[in-house]
Amino acid sequence: MYNYEVIKTLSEGNHAEVMQARHIKTDDLAALKCMNRVYKKGTESEELEDPTLPLCSIFTGKISEIREIQLIRKCSSHPNIVKCKEILFDQPTGRLSYVFELMDMNMYEAIKDLAEPLSEEKVKGYMLQLLKAIDHLHQNGGMHRDIKPESILLKGDTVKLGGFGSCRDSSVEPPFTDCLTTRWYSAPECLLTDGYYDAKADIWAAGCIFYELLTLTPLFPGCSELDQVLKIHDIFGTPKQEILEKFQILSSYKDLTFPFKKYSGISKLIPHASFECRVIILWMLTYDPDKRPSASDLLKLPYFEF
């Protein structure tokens, strides 16, 4: 495609295929993310005029309205967000591709075969970088909506957030008709309401990842949306009635009544973690999104000072 020679496929998903590629002229390696969606020729034409993210072809259609492009344009310069080198559009096939810097691996690949959990100090460093990326994204009016180990990329000890295919403009009023793609990291408001959630859902996902990095085990591996909710209740207990009533107003479910579960918490699950660490994870996993911290709130904590 254009000036790139594909070396191998790195991953395949419902929305895109990611390949390792080499620039024919410079020999530089890159990650080429080819979107599966086909963009048909429209009546309007607009070129992506951004010298830092050149488009190799005029896109026939409203390219600036593609959410992923909007956020990449705003956020790609941040040191903890994967850098987009250029955006390609192949008019004959109607496929859009992003050329990203090539990273070593994603977080899932980094931890899946470890025999022992990472040290808390190591995890703290990873989480600090992840929260900086989330904060930058939120400050620029976006919410990621699919934060999971596979969307967190590593180059050495540097963490970079990628996988912006599900991102949304956070200034848009809910409800959001499209759902999140990864159940295990979905916040309660995403599971129990008809799309009434905001950027705080990213904080819940990050809290799940915080725990997973300390244990190498997913915190809530639900096999369905109902099972996901029940697994949350197994640890945090059945939420207070006023919280469920708040969700009920925003839900088409006729009854949000759940079996009573006692609070057990996460302290017994991560006894090796410091008290401060456990408190922060619990704060990030607050059931009521209105009481959940922002990334900016978390970055102000002394815990994340190095």
Instruction: Give the residue numbers marked as catalytic.
Output: 146
Closest to 214 measured CA to CA, from 84, 130, 117, 301: 117
Asked if residues 293 and 201 have their Cβ atoms less than 8 Å apart, the reply is no
The closest alpha carbon to 89, from 29, 2, 25, belongs to: 2
Handedness of CA 136, 138, 139, 141 (dihedral sign): positive
Residue listed under structure tokens 């050329």: 99
- Residue at token pair 């191998």: 8
Distance separating alpha carbons of residues 297 and 300, to the nearest angstrom: 5
In angstroms, the CA 67 to CA 54 distance is: 17
| 176's tokens | 């959001």
Measure Cα distances from 71 to 23, 74, 161, 168 in Å. Answer: 25, 5, 12, 9
The total of other beta-carbon atoms located within 10 Å of residue 203's CB is 25
**For residues 17, 222, 265 and 144, what is the CA-based torsion angle, rounded to 10 degrees?**
30
Strand spans (E) along the chain: 4-12, 16-23, 29-38, 84-90, 95-101, 105-106, 142-143, 152-155, 158-161, 168-169
Bridge-based pairing of strands 95-101 and 105-106 is unpaired
